[in-house]
């Protein structure tokens, strides 16, 4: 499984580069106008690459399972965020080079007197800049998640749409049939993605609803929401994967949230999500009524042991509600009679905050599982690990000399804990391919 994923990952990476650079290759392959300055062609080339990157951003966020499978959703969304900065720099370089080498073009910034092609260019650049600013400083600007998602979609469409109109109106860059065909293909592809993500996929979800069959309170201020498919067979999933769920609204709305599946993959007829009360939406889970309709988009993610049949041992590091994907893995392993060595470090604030505490003890009798609780605020007479998870604790379990693909380490928890464990894993020189993590801070 791992070698196949690596090959697919390399292929998708090369395809991405090809699609990004194709406009540049087409431009270079066609004769340039006599006497045209090199810097002007360079400016246009950078703009074309940046525009292609922006158009492909819609592919990265369209939730194509075949695309994200080799990398995992976390890595794809991280790439989506980082490549946005690269696209912004390339697109800004296009007008900046014009202004530097041809100062008279600054007049194009006057939207009242500039030609329409320049007006659309200004709209595209300003939309892209606003998109990046709102994404970086969303929390500091106190923009709620729903509003951000709506404006993120509007600004993205406006930026790419206005840029494509600018290319068409500029004329010179689509002056040959081959160039025009290229941008027609890109435009049709982009519009098709919009139709799929905004219309076709939500419509499909309305035809495959789920309904709530149980709402159960857990330790750690969490609630388990159990669903069953209504009018269809549901889907199969790998333990550790997650879904986007839409509770109490239409799939056409932006009110959906990602949550890990916590139930066993051996029993896909019913799926459970264990959700901690952390925000406005999660605080409403306790009030969910049995029989309510829920729309589930998934499964997604590569945070699963199913991709690592070669491993002889698994080490899980979880904090708080980060236990949910690990719980799905452990439950599935118990149902399948897994015998390999398993270690679980589970960090919590105190003894009463340990979600699934009793079931984890039960799983020790069904699995070859070593369970290590780490409590930030231990009670009197506590003889286990206390404080914060640190290097010394992990070194007690992780073998001093590891060969590649022997031990797979899985991490899921609060951001501070994940950053700390990431540093420890690097210090312990664990091969990156054997270290896997999942987080849902997608903005």
Identify the domain boundary among 243, 276, 300.
300
pLDDT at residue 2, as a whole number: 60
Q: What's the chain's average pLDDT?
A: 87
What pLDDT band is residue 222 in, cutting at 50, 70 and 90? very high
**Residue at which a domain ends, from 205, 234, 249:** 205
CA angle 425, 427, 431 (to 5 degrees): 55
**Is 442 a domain residue?**
no
Whether 251 and 325 share a structural domain:
no
246-257 residue pLDDT tens: 987 888 887 888
Residues 161 and 255 in one domain: no
Question: Which residue, 56, 63, 65, 74, is CA-closest to 13?
Answer: 56
C-alpha pair distances (Å), 54 with each of 12, 23, 115, 390: 17, 13, 24, 41
Residues 6+ apart with CB under 8 A from 260: 240, 241, 242, 273, 274, 301, 324, 325, 328, 412, 438
Question: How many domains does the chain contain in total?
Answer: 3
Question: What's the angle, vertex CA 427, arms to CA 367 and CA 301, rounded to 5?
Answer: 50
Domain annotation covers residue 104: yes
Residue at token pair 């696209």 = 87
Paired tokens of 87: 């696209």
Same domain? For 201 and 215 the reply is no
DSSP codes joined into one string, 306-356: GG-TT-SEEEEEEEGGGHHHHHHHHHHHHHHT--SEEEEEEEESSGGG-TT
pLDDT tens sequence across 257-276: 899 999 999 987 899 999 99
Does 372 reside within a domain?
A: yes
**With 70 as the cut, is the pLDDT of residue 115 above it?**
yes
Left, alpha or beta for 16 (phi > 0: left; psi -120 to 50: alpha)? Answer: alpha
The answer to whether residues 197 and 62 touch, using CB atoms and an 8 Å cutoff, is yes
Same domain, 337 and 284: no
- CA-nearest of 326, 354, 210, 319 to 260 is 326
Span 172-200, pLDDT tens digits: 666 677 777 777 887 888 888 888 988 99
What is the band of 224 on the pLDDT scale with cuts at 50, 70, 90? very high
- pLDDT tens for 324-337 read 999 999 999 999 99
346 and 403 inside one domain? yes
Mean pLDDT of 63-73: 77
One domain for residues 166 and 62: yes
Task: Determine which of 12-21, 382-391, 432-441 has the lowest per-residue pLDDT on average.
Answer: 432-441
Cβ atoms < 10 Å from Cβ of 327? 28
Distance CA 296, CA 17 (A): 32
Say what the pLDDT of residue 89 is.
Answer: 93
What percent of the chain shows pLDDT beyond 90? 37
The CATH number linked to 24 is: 1.20.120
- Classify residue 65: in a domain, yes or no: yes
The predicted pLDDT at position 354 comes to 93
Maximum separation of any 2 CA atoms in the chain, in Å: 85
Cis peptide leading into residue 384 (ω within 30°):
no
Q: Which of these ranges, 26-30, 43-47, 417-421, has the smallest mean pLDDT?
A: 26-30
pLDDT tens digits for range 278-287? 877 888 899 9
Label residue 358 by pLDDT band (50, 70, 90): very high
H or E stretch covering 238:
none
Do 23 and 136 fall within a single domain? yes
Domain of 163 in residue numbering reads as 2-205
State whether 296 and 337 are in the same domain. no
In angstroms, the CA 146 to CA 160 distance is 22
- Global confidence as pTM: 0.85
Q: Are strands 407-412 and 435-437 parallel, antiparallel or unpaired?
A: parallel
> Do 217 and 199 fall within a single domain?
no
């Amino acid at each position: 499984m791992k070698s196949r994923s690596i090959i697919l990952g390399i292929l998708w990476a090369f395809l991405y580069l090809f699609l990004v650079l194709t406009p540049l290759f087409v431009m270079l392959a066609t004769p340039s106008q006599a006497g045209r300055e090199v810097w002007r062609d360079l400016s246009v080339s950078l703009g074309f690459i940046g525009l292609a990157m922006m158009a492909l951003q819609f592919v990265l966020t369209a939730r194509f399972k075949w695309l994200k499978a080799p990398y995992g959703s976390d890595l794809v969304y991280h790439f989506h965020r980082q490549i946005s900065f690269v696209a912004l720099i390339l697109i800004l370089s296009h007008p900046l080079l014009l202004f530097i080498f041809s100062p008279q073009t600054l007049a194009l910034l006057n939207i009242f007197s500039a030609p329409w092609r320049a007006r659309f260019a200004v709209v595209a650049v300003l939309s892209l800049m606003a998109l990046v600013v709102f994404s970086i400083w969303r929390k500091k600007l106190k923009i709620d998640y729903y509003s951000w998602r709506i404006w993120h979609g509007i600004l993205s469409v406006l930026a790419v749409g206005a840029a494509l109109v600018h290319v068409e109106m500029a004329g010179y860059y689509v002056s040959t049939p081959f160039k025009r065909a290229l941008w027609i293909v890109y435009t049709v592809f982009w519009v098709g993605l919009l139709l799929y993500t905004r219309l076709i996929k939500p419509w499909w979800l309305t035809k495959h609803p789920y309904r709530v069959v149980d709402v159960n309170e857990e330790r750690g201020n969490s609630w388990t929401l159990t669903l069953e498919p209504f009018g269809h067979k549901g889907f199969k999933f790998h333990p550790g994967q997650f879904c986007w769920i839409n509770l109490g609204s239409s799939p056409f709305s932006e009110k959906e949230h990602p949550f890990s599946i916590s139930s066993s993959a051996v029993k896909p007829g019913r799926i459970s999500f264990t959700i901690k009360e952390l925000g406005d939406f999660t605080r409403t889970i306790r009030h969910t009524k049995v029989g309510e309709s829920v729309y589930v988009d998934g499964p997604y993610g590569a945070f699963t042991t199913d991709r690592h049949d070669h491993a002889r041992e698994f080490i899980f590091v979880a904090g708080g509600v980060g236990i949910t994907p690990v719980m799905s893995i452990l439950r599935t392993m118990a149902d399948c009679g897994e015998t390999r060595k398993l270690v679980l470090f589970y960090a919590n604030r105190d003894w009463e905050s340990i979600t699934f505490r009793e079931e984890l003890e039960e799983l020790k009798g069904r699995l070859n599982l070593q369970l290590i609780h780490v409590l930030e605020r231990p009670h009197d007479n506590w003889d286990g690990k206390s404080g914060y998870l640190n290097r010394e604790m992990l070194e007690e379990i992780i073998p001093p000399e590891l060969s590649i693909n022997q031990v797979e380490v899985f991490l899921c928890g609060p951001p501070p804990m994940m950053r700390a464990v990431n540093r420890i894993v690097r210090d312990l020189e664990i091969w990156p391919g054997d270290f896997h993590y999942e987080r849902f801070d997608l903005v």
